[in-house]
């Protein structure tokens, strides 16, 4: 499965409409698109979506035992919203330890399992996380940890409500964003050319191995 460019843009509009109109497992503050969709490709084999979220510390902790009994998942009411879980119990997702996982819950709420989407979820903004991930990848020699820096911010939450970037959507629709190659982008962030080439190839191989919705969550 792949998206035409028009379908990908429409899908992203739908994501923003959902974030603005429905309860979320955790508050979403920014929606970004990265990778193939901002390169003017058509079709788009895999849609990259980055969500900046808030950490949820206090919601309805007194209800945690109730949800653990009914859903078999701990942490609902602490790390994900009890109101959201009441409305969408079928979308509650846990990590390997059986604890509610905000990033998996967000992915389940916004996308169907078979969609060719990779979702990145973090409590810090896209640009800061790109830098953090690059430093970590270089320190460990693990380029699978990198985040493709070629991206556009589509929506932000403000004190006056959500604000969608009409210009970003226009450029997505017409394929007008101009970005360097992935290896050149990584070089601009401080990698030498040889390392950037290796890192870019690693990311391309990793992307080709993914199927359906994949998700990664970070706390910085």
CA–CA separation, 144 and 8 (whole Å): 25
pLDDT at 45: 93
Cβ(82)–Cβ(105) below 8 Å = no
Residue 208 domain flag: yes
The predicted pLDDT at position 58 comes to 75
In a domain, 61, yes or no: no
Question: Is 63 within a domain?
Answer: no
Tell me which long-range contacts 199-204 makes (C-beta under 8 A, separation of at least 24): 199/137, 199/143, 199/146, 202/143, 202/144, 202/146, 203/143, 203/144, 203/146, 203/148
- pLDDT at site 115: 96
Residue 133: CB atoms within 10 A of its CB come to 19
- Predicted confidence band at 56 (pLDDT cuts at 50, 70, 90)? confident
Number of domains in the chain: 1
> Where in the sequence is the domain holding 194, given as residue range(s)?
5-54+101-218
User: Which pLDDT does position 180 carry in this prediction?
Assistant: 94
Q: pLDDT at position 113, please?
A: 92
d(CA 202, CA 146) in angstroms, rounded, equals 9
175 found inside a domain: yes
CB-CB contact of 48 with 37 (8 Å): yes
Per-residue model confidence (pLDDT) at position 34: 97
Please report whether residue 169 resides in a domain: yes
Predicted pLDDT at 160: 86
Is pTM beyond 0.85? Reply is yes
Number of residues that make up the chain: 220
pLDDT tens sequence across 77-126? 999 999 999 999 999 999 999 999 999 999 999 999 999 999 999 999 99
Q: What is the mean pLDDT of residues 66-80?
A: 96
Would residue 35 count as lying in a domain? yes
Judge whether 59 lies within some domain. Answer: no
Structure confidence at residue 219 as a pLDDT band (50, 70, 90)? confident
User: In the structure, what pLDDT confidence band is assigned to residue 209 with cuts at 50, 70 and 90?
Assistant: confident
Q: Has residue 91 been placed in a domain? A: no
CA atoms within 13 A on the CB side of 88: 16
Please state the rounded mean pLDDT for residues 142-166.
95
Question: CA-CA distance, 112 to 109, in Å (whole number)?
Answer: 8
Q: What is the mean pLDDT of residues 66-87?
A: 96
DSSP characters over 79-92: TB-HHHHHH-GGG-
How do residues 181-206 score in pLDDT, each as one tens digit? 999 999 999 999 999 999 999 999 98
């Amino acid at each position: 499965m792949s998206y035409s460019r028009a379908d990908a843009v429409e899908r992203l509009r739908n994501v923003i409409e959902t974030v603005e109109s429905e309860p979320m497992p955790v508050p979403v503050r920014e929606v970004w698109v990265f990778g193939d969709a901002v390169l003017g490709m058509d079709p788009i084999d895999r849609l990259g979506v980055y969500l900046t979220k808030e950490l949820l510390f206090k919601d309805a902790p007194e209800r945690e035992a109730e949800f653990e009994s009914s859903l078999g998942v701990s942490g609902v009411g602490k790390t994900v919203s009890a109101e959201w879980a009441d409305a969408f119990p079928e979308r509650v997702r846990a990590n390997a330890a059986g604890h509610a996982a905000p990033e998996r819950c967000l992915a389940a709420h916004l996308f169907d399992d078979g969609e060719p989407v990779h979702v990145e979820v973090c409590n810090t903004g896209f640009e800061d996380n790109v830098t953090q991930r690059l430093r970590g990848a270089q320190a460990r020699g693990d380029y699978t940890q990198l985040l493709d820096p070629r991206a556009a911010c589509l929506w932000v939450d403000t004190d006056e409500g959500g604000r969608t970037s009409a210009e970003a959507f226009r450029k997505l629709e017409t394929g007008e964003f101009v970005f360097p190659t992935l290896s050149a982008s990584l070089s601009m962030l401080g990698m030498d050319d040889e390392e950037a080439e290796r890192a870019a190839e690693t990311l391309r191989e990793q992307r080709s191995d993914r199927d359906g919705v994949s998700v990664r969550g970070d706390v910085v």
